[in-house]
Amino acid sequence: MFNEIISFIREIYRTDKPIALHEPRFLGNEKKYVLDTIDSTFVSSVGTYVTKFEDMIKEYTGCKHAIATSNGTTALHLALLLAGVKREHEVITQPLTFVATCNAISYCGATPVFVDVDKETLGLSPVKLREFLSNNCKVENGQCVNKVTGKTVRACVPMHTFGHSARIEEIRECCDEYNVILVEDAAESIGSKYRSKHTGRFGKLGILSFNGNKTITCGGGGMIMTDDQDLAKLGKHVSTTAKVPHKWDFVHDMLGYNYRLPNINAALACAQMEQLDLFIKNKRELASAYEKFFGKLGVTFIKEPKDVYSNYWLNGIILKDKKERDDFLKFSNDQGVMTRPIWTLMSKLNMYKGCVKGDLSNSEWLEDRVVNIPSSVVVKK
């Protein structure tokens, strides 16, 4: 069976050379726009491409305001600060995520609280979220208080795993009921929609990532999306060292960060945005070919859940058990076809193993079985 999988993947990518899990494609105006920033000398945090990129994201996702940052992690850190996450707060998230989600919570001095995911979406489970909130929390003076720890649960950060949206409307309803601010980690899901609305637009704030391994990239980059004008204004200010605009004076009126995306990266981003729809079409065709193939093989392929239009950033399969997973990981990587397991659960990492958690049985089940397989845009030769 493993052999068949490897041959199928090699057939798709038409190569005998090593196949990466996800590599960028620069097929459009990338060189032209980047050269343009060099010729203009505006390669750094001031320049026309940064605002152009923000406008393209607004247009594409429908969000009212967008703030470009140096990467997805800084976008999430800033989004949580804007949501008012402070030291001594708790922030609910899923244990099945990339470490940046939890690190951004920690940068605010807050602690993650782990609630399980759904097996169908790989995203935060609205049912388990409600269960956790109703068993452990109460709303007191407008704040959601964890009765066990006495801490305020300020925000909730669901993550749209591999580009598949979580059941985000149900999550939002639950957050609203308990006065918990919803911040979406949509780092992996640019172009993905839940009931026709772009992911990252359901909460007060949402973020995207443009790291080298994502659906489109600008080397490193991130974006904060919000419909709240005041938060957007504050976000832009804080991301640019909180400098008060003035021709020569250096006055900073609050603690700021150097998180603005450089113009040279934004140039790359604009060129990639022009190709996004093509890339997603290509990725969805790839996913559909995988789905057919694995269906015949009797292996579970991770499909977009109900009500979701997915960008299929990373394709994944679910193997029988941990042993089969490990055997396949070894076999495929030895053959030069890169595959990898899903992340080690955050609740098991040194920094986070002491955190409050609910029942995590779905996350644990998935952790043992999910394998990602090559998912780059297929270039027709």
The residues binding ligand PLP (CB under 6 A) are 71-73, 76, 97-98, 100-101, 159, 185, 187-188, 209, 211, 222
Pairing of strands 315-318, 300-301: antiparallel
How is residue 374 written in tokens?
Answer: 């090559």
Q: CA-CA distance, 299 to 317, in Å (whole number)?
A: 7
Task: Using the minimum distance from each CB to ligand PLP, give the nearer residue, 299 or 342.
Answer: 342
Task: Using the minimum distance from each CB to ligand PLP, give the nearer residue, 71 or 375.
Answer: 71
Task: Using the minimum distance from each CB to ligand PLP, give the nearer residue, 34 or 190.
Answer: 190
Q: How far is the CB of 30 from ligand PLP (least distance, A)?
A: 18
Task: Using the minimum distance from each CB to ligand PLP, give the nearer residue, 206 or 222.
Answer: 222
Q: How far is the CB of 368 from ligand PLP (least distance, A)?
A: 20
Please report which residue ranges of 198-275 form alpha helices under DSSP H: 229-239, 263-273
Q: How far is the CB of 102 from ligand PLP (least distance, A)?
A: 9
Q: How far is the CB of 54 from ligand PLP (least distance, A)?
A: 16
Q: What are 373's strand-pairing partners?
A: 315
- Which residue's CB atom is positioned nearest to ligand PLP? 72
C-alpha count within 13 angstroms, C-beta hemisphere, residue 57 = 33
Q: How far is the CB of 72 from ligand PLP (least distance, A)?
A: 3
**What φ, ψ does residue 52 adopt, rounded to 5°?**
-65, -45
Q: CA-CA distance, 226 to 345, in Å (whole number)?
A: 29
Task: Using the minimum distance from each CB to ligand PLP, give the nearer residue, 19 or 342.
Answer: 342
Q: How far is the CB of 69 from ligand PLP (least distance, A)?
A: 9
Q: How far is the CB of 212 from ligand PLP (least distance, A)?
A: 8
Q: How far is the CB of 257 from ligand PLP (least distance, A)?
A: 14
Task: Using the minimum distance from each CB to ligand PLP, give the nearer residue, 294 or 352.
Answer: 352
Strand stretches in 201-299, DSSP E: 205-209, 222-226
CA–chain centroid gap for 10, Å, is: 28
Q: Are 46 and 260 in contact (CB under 8 A)?
A: no
Place of tokens 């899903």: 342
CA–chain centroid gap for 298, Å, is: 29
Q: Residue 367 contacts by C-beta under 8 Å, 6 or more apart in sequence?
A: 96, 341, 342, 343, 344, 345
CA angle 68, 242, 71 (to 5 degrees): 25
DSSP character for 13? H
Task: Using the minimum distance from each CB to ligand PLP, give the nearer residue, 24 or 145.
Answer: 24
Q: Are 89 and 108 in contact (CB under 8 A)?
A: yes
Q: How far is the CB of 95 from ligand PLP (least distance, A)?
A: 12
Q: Tell me how far CA of residue 347 lies from CA of 114, 216, 294, in angstroms.
A: 7, 29, 31
Count of other CB atoms within 10 angstroms of residue 216? 24
Q: CA-CA distance, 240 to 50, in Å (whole number)?
A: 13
Task: Using the minimum distance from each CB to ligand PLP, give the nearer residue, 146 or 265.
Answer: 265
Q: How far is the CB of 339 from ligand PLP (least distance, A)?
A: 17
Task: Using the minimum distance from each CB to ligand PLP, give the nearer residue, 257 or 331.
Answer: 257
Task: Using the minimum distance from each CB to ligand PLP, give the nearer residue, 178 or 313.
Answer: 313
Angle formed by the axes of helices 2-13 and 276-297, nearest 10°: 150
Q: CA-CA distance, 176 to 182, in Å (whole number)?
A: 8
